């Protein structure tokens, strides 16, 4: 990564990219509809506090009664761990509301942006727009 | 009573001369003694000299978005040779059609970026000063750069490597680093994959403000750049941060697929 190639796309796409565009230096973020926020309510199945990305597995009841599984990639412990998150931020069984940027290919997954916990607290998972 | 026994033993050992060597009273110590002019005083020893260097202690986080908005103009696009202009234009075009970070490289497969990309990852770096060397520890991918500042020249034909071979010198409080011998399959700039074995990276590193480190990076490779191309990055100091472990292969679900795009694997192993 370098300043030049980060700035240029940021200027091109303005607001959409300004919120957390550098989600990863590890890979392209073009596979997500970056900035097109959606929400999902479900139950935490597993929180993977791992490099190069954290991962949240969420289960939701499907229309057919079967449990559906969703997978969300997030920022790394390197970023989240310095902003109040930790390995115990999410626990199996927590009923959460999750805001995410969806995968472009339509699979049940995306990049998580924000989590609202059972006690109502909200955890931001991406850099906020400078105020 | 039991506590007194070891003390008594030590006292006996000293009395019998068993510990004499430790106390500097070995019989042959005079023969290895150097003349005062050859003995560096504590004040001008190589380690004491380090105190004259600027204070770069703490951990440095790339500022990225925050900093360029503070009145800086983005640099002009690079002037590229025909061999590389095409892939860069395609990269720029892709950034318009699918906003986001569109670079595709082996880094998604946990192959580390080369210099200069390794200095421009999202997570912090730190600097260690020892006599004759500056060592950069890079959290992302757990990389190490050894910059030799003892005046020794770089090897004439360095084995190509991701971090290359770096020599540096101080110009006042600015560390100037020259790096060559960088693996030709690495990316010298986002949107450009590959370069020649002539790539030379010059970094000028200094404190722009008490807690802001500035790194100006110049890329020189006639095979890629019509003229040397320079960018500037800033880093915020965090004195209370510690570098974290970063093992990319721990849980990488984004290996490149057959089209060269991150796979985003939703596969789970049984019991996972």
What would the pLDDT profile of A60-77 be if each residue is shown by its tens digit?
998 888 999 999 999 999
What would the pLDDT profile of B10-68 be if each residue is shown by its tens digit?
343 333 333 333 333 334 444 445 555 566 677 789 999 999 999 999 999 998 755 55
pLDDT-based confidence at residue B190 (cuts at 50, 70, 90):
confident
pLDDT of amino acid B44: 83
pLDDT of amino acid B13: 38
pLDDT of amino acid B11: 40
Q: Is the ipTM of this complex over 0.90?
A: no
Q: Would you list the DSSP string of B97-127?
A: HS-S-----GGGGTPPP-TTGGGGSSS-EEE
* A10 has a chain B CB within 8 A of its CB: yes
Domain membership of residue A19 (yes or no) is: yes
Q: Residue A1: which of B117, B250, B253 has the nearest Cβ?
A: B117
* pLDDT at A7 exceeding the cut of 50: no
Q: Would you list the DSSP string of B119-188?
A: GGSSS-EEEEEETTEEEEEETGGGEEEEEE-SSPPPPSSPPPBSS-EEEEEEETTEEEEEEE-B-TTS-S
Q: Which of chain B's residues have a Cβ under 8 Å away from the Cβ of A32?
A: 100
Q: Which of chain B's residues have a Cβ under 8 Å away from the Cβ of A35?
A: 99
* pLDDT at A1 exceeding the cut of 60: no
CA distance B99 to chain A (A): 6
pLDDT of amino acid B118: 95
Asked if B95 and A48 come within 8 Å (Cβ–Cβ), the reply is no
Domain membership of residue A35 (yes or no) is: yes
Domain membership of residue A130 (yes or no) is: no
pLDDT-based confidence at residue A24 (cuts at 50, 70, 90):
very low
Asked if B264 and A57 come within 8 Å (Cβ–Cβ), the reply is no
pLDDT of amino acid B102: 62
Q: CB B253: neighbour CB atoms within 10 A?
A: 19
Q: CB B200: neighbour CB atoms within 10 A?
A: 15
Domain membership of residue A131 (yes or no) is: no
What would the pLDDT profile of A80-106 be if each residue is shown by its tens digit?
999 999 999 999 999 999 999 999 999
Dig out the tokens for A121 from the structure.
């607290």
* A128 has a chain B CB within 8 A of its CB: no
What would the pLDDT profile of B106-117 be if each residue is shown by its tens digit?
888 899 999 999
Please give the residue range of the domain that contains residue A73. Answer: 3-124
Asked if A4 and B96 come within 8 Å (Cβ–Cβ), the reply is no
CA distance B200 to chain A (A): 16
| DSSP bridge pairs for B147 | B134, B166
What would the pLDDT profile of B207-259 be if each residue is shown by its tens digit?
999 999 999 999 999 999 999 999 999 999 999 999 999 999 999 988 888 77
CATH, residue A26: 2.40.50.140
Asked if A108 and B64 come within 8 Å (Cβ–Cβ), the reply is no
pLDDT of amino acid A10: 35
pLDDT of amino acid A60: 96
Cα A33 to Cα A102: distance, rounded to the nearest angstrom: 6
Of B221, B201, B110, B188, which is closest to residue A4 (Cα–Cα)?
Answer: B188
* Pair B253, B269: CB distance under 8 Å: no
Share of chain A above pLDDT 90, in %: 66
What would the pLDDT profile of B59-104 be if each residue is shown by its tens digit?
999 987 555 544 556 678 999 999 999 999 998 888 787 766 666 6
* Pair A75, A56: CB distance under 8 Å: no
Q: Which of chain B's residues have a Cβ under 8 Å away from the Cβ of A57?
A: 268
Extents of the domains making up chain B: 59-250
């Amino acid at each position: 990564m370098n300043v030049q190639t980060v700035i240029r796309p940021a200027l091109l796409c303005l607001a959409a990219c300004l919120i957390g565009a550098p989600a990863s230096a590890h890979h392209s973020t073009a596979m997500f509809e970056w900035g097109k926020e959606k929400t999902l309510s479900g139950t935490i199945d597993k929180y993977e506090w791992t490099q190069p990305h954290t991962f949240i597995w969420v289960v939701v009841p499907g229309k057919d009664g079967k449990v559906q599984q969703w997978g969300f990639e997030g920022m790394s412990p390197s970023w989240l761990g310095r902003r109040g998150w930790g390995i115990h931020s999410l626990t199996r069984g927590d009923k959460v509301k999750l805001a995410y940027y969806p995968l472009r290919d339509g699979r049940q997954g995306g990049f998580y942006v924000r989590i609202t916990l059972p006690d109502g607290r909200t955890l931001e998972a991406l850099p906020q727009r400078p105020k | 009573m039991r506590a007194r026994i070891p003390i008594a033993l030590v006292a006996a050992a000293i009395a019998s001369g068993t510990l004499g060597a430790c106390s500097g009273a070995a019989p042959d110590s005079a023969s290895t003694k150097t003349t005062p002019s050859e003995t560096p005083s504590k004040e001008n020893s190589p380690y004491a000299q380090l105190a004259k260097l600027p204070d770069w202690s703490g951990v440095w986080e790339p500022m990225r978005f925050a900093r360029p908005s503070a009145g800086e103009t983005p640099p002009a696009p690079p002037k590229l040779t025909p061999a590389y202009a095409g892939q860069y234009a395609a990269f720029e075009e892709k950034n318009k059609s699918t906003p986001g970070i569109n670079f595709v490289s082996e880094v998604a497969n946990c192959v580390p970026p080369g210099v200069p990309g390794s200095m421009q990852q999202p997570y912090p770096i730190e600097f260690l000063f020892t006599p004759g060397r500056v060592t950069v520890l890079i959290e992302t991918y757990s990389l190490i750069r050894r910059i030799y500042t003892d005046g020794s020249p770089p090897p004439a034909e360095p084995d190509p490597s991701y971090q290359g071979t770096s020599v540096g010198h101080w110009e006042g409080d600015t560390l100037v680093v020259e790096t060559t011998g960088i693996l030709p399959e690495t990316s010298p700039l986002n949107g450009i994959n590959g370069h020649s074995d002539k790539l030379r990276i010059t970094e000028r590193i200094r404190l722009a403000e008490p807690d802001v480190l500035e790194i100006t990076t110049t890329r020189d490779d006639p095979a890629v750049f019509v003229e040397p191309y320079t960018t500037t990055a800033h880093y915020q100091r965090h004195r209370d941060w510690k570098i974290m472990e970063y093992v990319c292969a721990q849980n990488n679900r984004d290996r490149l697929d057959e089209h060269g795009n991150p796979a985003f694997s939703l596969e789970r192993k049984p019991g996972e």
